[in-house]
Amino acid sequence: MQINLGIRRVRAFTLKEMIGFGSEADVFREVGRCNQPLSVKIASDRLEHSNLLIENEAHILSGLDHPNIIKYMGHGKIDSKSFLATRLVEGVDLEDYIKAHFPMPEAQACSLVKQIASALSYVHSKGLVHADLAVKNILIAEDQAILLDFSFSRPEKSYLAFEENGKFIMGTLSFISLDRLYGDPPSVKDDIFALGLIFLQMFTGRRAITDHDTETMHLDQGLLHLKIDGSTASPAIKSLIRKMVFTSGDNLRRADEIIEALK
């Protein structure tokens, strides 16, 4: 079987060079038509539903076209495993980038956050949410931020079939909102919450919420206030981050508002 996705020798993937892996997939470097470097993400046996997640991601990404979103190149099945091909980004993930560039100049942090907000604004304008915004799901290449891993993306406030109406939570614990921890379906404000935590990480060098203290940090919001206060961000940026991560008061409800605030 030959799948027409711009990749030569689909049946003959060599898949020697692994460039990443996640809970649901292994990611390899490949070469497509015209020698274009590709990333091929293949369902792994580590997670049930990994085929469905890759197919979901392929379905979502094939309808998106934005400079700060990973470019879809094709998808299909190899033997019984679903795969997704995207344009290869030669960069590092945002978590490693922050570590390597800490303390990051505020102008650079704002530029990266604006780019991610622009990608989110575009996704939200299509009635979708990313639902797994996290430092490991953003790549940085030549000062450009590229959003990837749309495995859990879906129309706002809906569940994926196997989430059993919120019984199972899909996402990255450190960046997940309390509402989602309690089983609510993901919304635009949950993406903005995650972006607020990412923004904060740029001024602290580390994740605000670690996986094991997710709930404590959410329930005792004073702790999150302390982390924001103790960061190296300017007062204006601290105030913006608060509006992104706290749901009460004059919080930000749209990604556009973040871009506007950072102008």
Ligand X SMILES: Nc1ncnc2c1ncn2[C@@H]1O[C@H](COP(=O)(O)OP(=O)(O)OP(=O)(O)O)[C@@H](O)[C@H]1O
Query: Using CB under 6 A as the criterion, which residues of the chain lie in contact with ligand X when the complex forms?
Result: 19-25, 27, 39, 41, 70, 86, 88-89, 93, 136-137, 139, 148-149, 151
Contact 134, 172 (CB under 8 A): yes
Q: Are 174 and 180 in contact (CB under 8 A)?
A: no
- Give the integer Cα–Cα distance in Å for 121 and 255: 5
Least Cβ distance, residue 18 to ligand X (angstroms): 9
Q: Are 121 and 128 in contact (CB under 8 A)?
A: no
Identified binder of Mg ion from the candidate list 30, 149, 156, 163, rule CB under 5 A: 149
Shortest gap between Cβ of 133 and ligand X (angstroms)?
11
The entry of ligand X, Mg ion, none near residue 39 (CB within 5 to 8 angstroms by kind) is ligand X
State the binding partner of 19 from ligand X, Mg ion, none, CB within 5 to 8 A by kind.
Answer: ligand X
Report the partner that residue 77 touches, choosing among Mg ion, ligand X, none (CB closer than 5 to 8 A by kind): none
What's the closest the beta carbon of residue 235 comes to ligand X, in angstroms? 33
Please report how close the Cβ of residue 99 comes to ligand X at its closest, in angstroms.
14
Q: Which does 246 bind (CB under 5 to 8 A by kind): ligand X, Mg ion, none?
A: none
* R_g of the chain, CA atoms, integer Å: 18
Number of neighbouring beta carbons within 10 Å of residue 92: 16
Q: Across-strand partners of 146?
A: 139
Tell me the C-alpha distance between 172 and 50, whole Å: 16
Q: How far is the CB of 175 from Mg ion (least distance, A)?
A: 11
Site for Mg ion in 4-43 (CB under 5 A): 22
Q: CB-wise, 177 or 231, nearer to Mg ion?
A: 177
Instruction: Considering only residues 112 through 141, tell me which ones interact with Mg ion, judged by CB under 5 A.
Output: 137
Q: Which is nearer to Mg ion, 25 or 255 (CB)?
A: 25
Is residue 115 within 8 A of residue 143, CB to CB? The reply is no
Looking at the DSSP assignment, which residues form a beta bridge with residue 128? 155
* DSSP run (H or E) holding 228: helix 221-229
Q: Residue 259: what residue type?
A: I
Please state the closest distance from residue 137 (CB atom) to ligand X, in A: 5
| C-alpha distances in Å from residue 85, one per residue of 65, 142, 164, 187, 195 | 15, 22, 29, 27, 26
Choose the stretch contacting Mg ion; rule: CB under 5 A; options: 114-122, 143-151, 156-164, 223-231.
Answer: 143-151
Residue 184 contacts which entry, Mg ion, ligand X, none (Cβ below 5-8 A, type-dependent): none
Q: Does 177 bind Mg ion (CB under 5 A)?
A: no
Paired residues of 25 in beta bridges: 43
Residue nearest to ligand X (CB): 22
